[in-house]
Amino acid sequence: MGAQPKRAAINPQPLAVTLRERIAREGPISVHDYMEACLADRRSGYYTTRQPIGRAGDFITAPEISQVFGELIGAWSAAVWQAMGAPSAVIVAELGPGRGTLMGDALRAWRSAPQFLAALSVALVETSPVLEAAQRAMLRDSPAPLQWYAALEDVPRGPLILIANEFIDALPVRQIVRESGVWRERTVAFADRGGFAFGAGAPVEAEAVPPSLKDIDAPEGTIIETRPAATKLIETLAGRANDAPIAALIADYGHEASGIGDTLQAVHRHRFADPLSVPGETDLTAHVDFAALKEAARALGLAAFGPMAQGAFLLKLGLATRCDRLLRSATPDQKEAILSGAARLADPRQMGALFKMLALQSSGLAPPPPFGDI
């Protein structure tokens, strides 16, 4: 029997009310806890209560733009499995699979890699009941066994290939702000005229400040961001690499070098919005700091490759060849969609440069494609 889609818990109380009560009780909350509540509150968080991805939703992602994205990541995974020595059992885990589109396209591509398919089981790591139901529906004809988990820590041990597209940007950031010559926790408090406003709270612990900024007398108001859950993800991967080969592909939007500044942003119906105006109703994200991820991975003994711009990554993996093949049997309308989709993914003026791919692996494996070519 097929799985029954789960119903989202319907909470009559908007998150803004819950947060007001919390701030009245506890005082201002950290930006980290605000972002976490907005996205993941068990009753009224953004992802808990809706399927936000697609034209009718708030934002669109690469796998939703072109099937070639998931197909090429599928091919990448099969190549990495070969580089691991083709272990007889491997888990491909996807973090935050959204509507399940990327995994559906990858699974279709793996039908022409029967040995990989025979070794494979798929782990979908998802916290949102609404999106889990969408994934179950999308992947119901999967040629490989599927299993859902709430956290990567729950995924069984053994050789692992991990995919995370636009997942890390949705993990809460901690913001630290320079005020009165001291680094303080950036908070969300009540605004004088109602609603919420940013503030500066208690001084942070010394370890919260990146070493490069410790001794600098930064200008008042300087903001730096860290992402505790991303650091924990790297630690989990490095821990697993002690027992079995691992490879991870992290794709997201963000900066190559650690920077300074507030990158918290809200998107509603494909437009930017105020992150404080309607908590839980807008998609809140912040740039991914690829340099920090890479540094954390290397410090724990993992090999890191990239980040490489999404456009270059996809072109080197064969975007053009794959599109050519699709074009041969396409109608005129489909042709237009294939070409505009490929341009949207790869053109540096669209997603091709802002979005980047970082590969992490157990040390000692051959570099993953296409990093080995450069």
Measured from the CB of residue 179, what is the shortest distance to ligand SAH in angstroms?
30
Per CB under 6 A, the segment of 21-29, 97-105, 108-116, 240-248 that binds ligand SAH is 97-105
* Positions 31 through 70 that interact with ligand SAH (CB under 6 A): 40, 47, 53, 61, 63-64
CA-nearest of 4, 227, 57, 45 to 128 is 45
Per CB under 6 A, the segment of 106-114, 126-134, 286-294, 339-347 that binds ligand SAH is 126-134
> Are β-strands 223-226 and 196-203 bridged in parallel, bridged antiparallel, or unpaired?
unpaired
Among 41, 71, 126, 281, binds ligand SAH (CB under 6 A): 126
Per CB under 6 A, the segment of 22-30, 96-104, 314-322, 330-338 that binds ligand SAH is 96-104
Measured from the CB of residue 113, what is the shortest distance to ligand SAH in angstroms?
22
Q: How far apart are the first and last CA of the chain?
A: 48
Residue 173 binds ligand SAH, judged by CB under 6 A:
no
Closer residue to ligand SAH (CB): 93 or 119:
93
What is the total residue count of the chain? 374
Residue nearest to ligand SAH (CB): 96
Q: Is residue 128 a contact partner of residue 170, using CB atoms and an 8 Å limit? A: no
The torsion angle over the Cα atoms of residues 165, 170, 174 and 178, rounded to 10 degrees, is 90
Q: What sections of 252-370 are H helices per DSSP?
A: 290-299, 310-316, 319-328, 332-346
- For the chain, what percentages of helix, strand and coil (3-state, to nearest 5) are there? 40, 25, 40
Closer residue to ligand SAH (CB): 131 or 304:
131
Q: Quickly count: other Cβ atoms within 10 Å of residue 272's Cβ.
A: 10
Measured from the CB of residue 64, what is the shortest distance to ligand SAH in angstroms?
6
Residue 113 binds ligand SAH, judged by CB under 6 A:
no
Alpha carbons 338 and 184: distance in angstroms, whole number: 49
Residue 226 binds ligand SAH, judged by CB under 6 A:
no
Binding interface with ligand SAH (CB under 6 A):
40, 47, 53, 61, 63-64, 96-98, 102, 125-128, 131, 165-167, 170
